[in-house]
């Protein structure tokens, strides 16, 4: 498995590239912008982009959709209830002094869907609460851990859960109690060593967030 993480776009979103180096199929999660950087990584690893997937439709996570789709032909995939907001990305970015391209969904992902990219499979998790219908993606991969490689579960969770925090819930479609419940029942039920790959900031683990995240200290 090829796994790459980079910061893109005006708000430095964590963009993830996951690919199967046997078949060269790959997926890009949340291209916030800087599409030239994303394309460079795809070329370096000789990857063919099968899907562009958005965890949710906030402008900082989708600003690169249109250009990346134009350059690769890959479809833009998102939850159906988030899709209308793709057409509002630039107007919402302008409220913060930025400009991004609007885009449109090519297809839809529902909670529970299993997506295949080469020999790699991802399961879609419902993580709404930061936005109307945010998604996470659970997979298993081999990761470099200092002096060894180790196979672990991992979840790409958009802006639902961060290292030491959670996503804002004061945007349209936000719901604090729902977000906390979804994190507890869909992320915190995973093994403690599961990697958590958030939409911003450093990676963390399920065990670390259960123990130290202040939003879950009863």
pLDDT digits (tens, 9 = 90+) for 114-166: 999 999 999 999 999 999 999 999 999 888 776 778 899 999 999 999 999 99
Domain presence at residue 112: yes
Domain presence at residue 66: yes
Domain span at 184: 2-213
**pLDDT tens digits, residue range 21-30?**
999 999 999 9
**pLDDT tens digits, residue range 52-77?**
999 999 999 999 999 999 999 999 99
pLDDT at residue 93 tops 90: yes
Strand locations in the chain (E) = 2-8, 13-19, 25-29, 48-53, 76-78, 107-108, 114-117, 120-126, 135-145, 148-156, 161-162, 165-166, 195-197, 204-205
Domain presence at residue 30: yes
In contact, 35 and 49? CB cutoff 8 Å:
no
pLDDT at residue 190 tops 90: yes
Number of domains in the chain: 1
Residue 66 maps to which CATH number?
A: 3.60.15.10
Specify whether the backbone of 96 is left (phi greater than 0), alpha (psi in -120 to 50) or beta. Answer: alpha
Q: What percent of the chain has pLDDT over 70?
A: 100
pLDDT at residue 218 tops 80: no
Domain presence at residue 218: no
Domain presence at residue 187: yes
Total-model pTM = 0.96
């Amino acid at each position: 498995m090829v796994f790459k993480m980079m910061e893109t776009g005006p708000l430095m979103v964590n963009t993830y590239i996951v690919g199967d180096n046997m078949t060269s199929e790959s997926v890009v999660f949340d291209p916030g912008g800087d599409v030239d950087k994303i394309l460079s990584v795809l070329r370096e690893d000789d990857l063919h982009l099968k899907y562009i997937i958005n965890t949710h439709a906030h402008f900082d996570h989708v600003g690169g959709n249109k250009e990346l789709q134009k350059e690769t032909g890959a479809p833009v995939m998102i939850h159906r209830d988030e899709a209308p907001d793709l057409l509002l990305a630039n107007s919402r970015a302008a409220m913060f002094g930025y400009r991004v391209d609007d885009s449109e969904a090519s297809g839809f992902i529902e909670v529970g869907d299993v997506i295949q990219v080469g020999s790699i499979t991802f399961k879609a998790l419902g993580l709404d609460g930061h936005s109307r219908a945010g998604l996470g993606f659970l997979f298993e991969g081999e990761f470099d851990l200092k002096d060894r490689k180790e196979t672990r579960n991992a979840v790409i969770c958009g802006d639902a859960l961060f290292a030491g925090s959670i996503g804002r819930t004061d945007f349209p479609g936000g719901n604090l109690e729902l977000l906390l419940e979804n994190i507890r029942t869909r992320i915190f039920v995973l093994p403690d060593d599961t990697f958590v790959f958030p939409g911003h900031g450093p990676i963390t683990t399920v065990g670390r967030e259960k123990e130290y995240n202040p939003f879950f200290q009863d």
